[in-house]
Amino acid sequence: MSAPKSNRAEPIIEAHGLIRKYGELVAVDRIDFAVGHGEIFGFLGPNGAGKSTTVRMLTGYIPPTAGAITVAGHNLLSHPSAVRRHLGVVPEEANVYADLTVRQNVMLMAELHGLPKERRTHNCKYLLELFGLAERARQKGRHLSKGLRQRLMLCMALVSDPGILFLDEPTSGLDVASSRLIREVITRMNRNQGMTVFLTTHNIEEADELCDRVAIIDKGRIAAIDTPQALRATVHSRRSVEVRFAGDSAPPADMMDFGAGSETLRLAHGFRIFGAEPGRIAQELAGRATARGFRIEHLCTLEPSLEEVFVHITSRSASTPVGGVNA
C-alpha cells in the first residue's frame, strides 16, 4: 500500500457555505469547515442533525443546494471523477455483494478503480490478512456476520489506496473484537500512511479515542469544532472531584457544601462534586475530612467527558461556534 506524507497544516477537505434543502426542509444550513491532510476528523450530532447529508455531499452522492466543496485541491462539483479517485467510502450499512466471495468483492472494487492486476492482487492479499479475512477469502458475502461484512467493506474501500477515508458509524452494532480491530487499523493507517479519516459516529468514547478534532453539528449547523481536550475545557462547571471515605459513616451535609456553582452527587460508593475549580475543592475537602476525623480512601479530580460536552452543546440555545471553525 502506498504511504503519502501527512501534512496536517494543509486542508484536504474544505466546505464553504454548504446548504442542502429537501423541499422546505433545511437539512444543512450554511456550514463551513476544513479538514487537515492526515487528520482523523470526527463528525458528531444527534439523529437528524445533518451528519449523513453532509457526508453525502462531501462524497458526491448528492449535490449541495448551495455552497462549495474542495477535496484534494479539486472542486467536487466541477471535477467529481478527480475527487472520487482520492476517496474510500464505508457506509453505515455494509453493502457487500452477497453472491461473490470475500476475495471477489475486494478484487471487483480494485478493478472498478482501474488498479493493475499485480497491484490489486497485492492489496487484496494484504488487506484480507490485515482484517483477519484471509481464511474466509472463498466464503460468500451472504454468509458473513455483520462484523465480518463491515471488515470486508473496509477492505473494499481501502484496496484502491485512497488518501481520504469516509467512515459512517463504522463500529455501530459490532462485536467487541471487530470494533477494536477496526479502530486499530484506522489509527495505524492514519499514523503510518498519512491517511485522512472523516468519521461520523454516535460513539462519544470512540471519537475521544480516535479523533484529532471533532465537529458537532446540531439542527443543520456547526455548533463546535475543536480538539476533544479543548472542547472538554469549555465546560468548566462539569469538572469534578470524586471521593470515597473509609467506613460506613456518611459525612455531614455542610462538609460536602462548596458554595454556589458547585453540585454534590451521592454515588453508589462515595461522592462526586462538580465545580469549576476541582483542585481547590479537593484541597478543602481533604482539610475538612482531617479536621472531622474522616479517612479518605480515594480522591481524584476529573475532567468532563466528551459526552458531557456533547450534551451541553446540543442542548443550549446559543448558536455561536466553540473553537476555531477552520483551525
**Interval 139-144 mean pLDDT:** 94
Whether residue 5 is predicted with pLDDT greater than 70 in this model: the reply is: no
Per-residue confidence (pLDDT) for residue 102, from 0 to 100: 97
**Mean pLDDT, residues 40-56:** 92
* Residue pLDDT, tens place only, 64-100: 999 999 999 999 999 999 999 999 999 877 689 999 9
Please tell me the predicted confidence (pLDDT) of residue 223.
Answer: 92
Q: pLDDT tens digit string along 294-316?
A: 999 999 999 888 888 888 888 76
More confident residue, 171 or 155: 155
CA dist 89 to 95, 168, 199, 322, Å?
A: 11, 8, 10, 29
Residue 143 has pLDDT above 60, yes or no: yes
Arithmetic mean of pLDDT, 122-139: 96
Count, residues in the chain: 327
3-state secondary structure of 150: helix
Alpha helices for the chain (secondary structure H): 51-58, 80-84, 102-112, 117-130, 146-158, 176-193, 204-210, 228-233, 278-292, 306-315
For the chain, list the domains and their CATH numbers: 236-303 (3.30.70)
pLDDT at 94: 67
- Per-residue pLDDT at 109 exceeds 90: yes
Averaged confidence pLDDT in the chain: 89
Confidence bin at 318 (pLDDT 50/70/90): very low
Most confidently predicted of 14-23, 39-48, 175-184, 300-309 = 14-23
* Percent of the chain residues past pLDDT 70, beyond the cut: 93
Cα gap 232→229, rounded to integer Å: 5
Name the pLDDT band for 325 (thresholds 50, 70, 90). Answer: very low
Is 155 in contact with 131 (CB distance < 8 Å)? yes
Cα-to-chain-centroid distance, residue 56:
17
* Residue 24 neighbours by CB distance under 10 Å: 5
- β-strands 40-44, 74-75: how paired? unpaired
The residue-averaged pLDDT of 51-55 equals 92
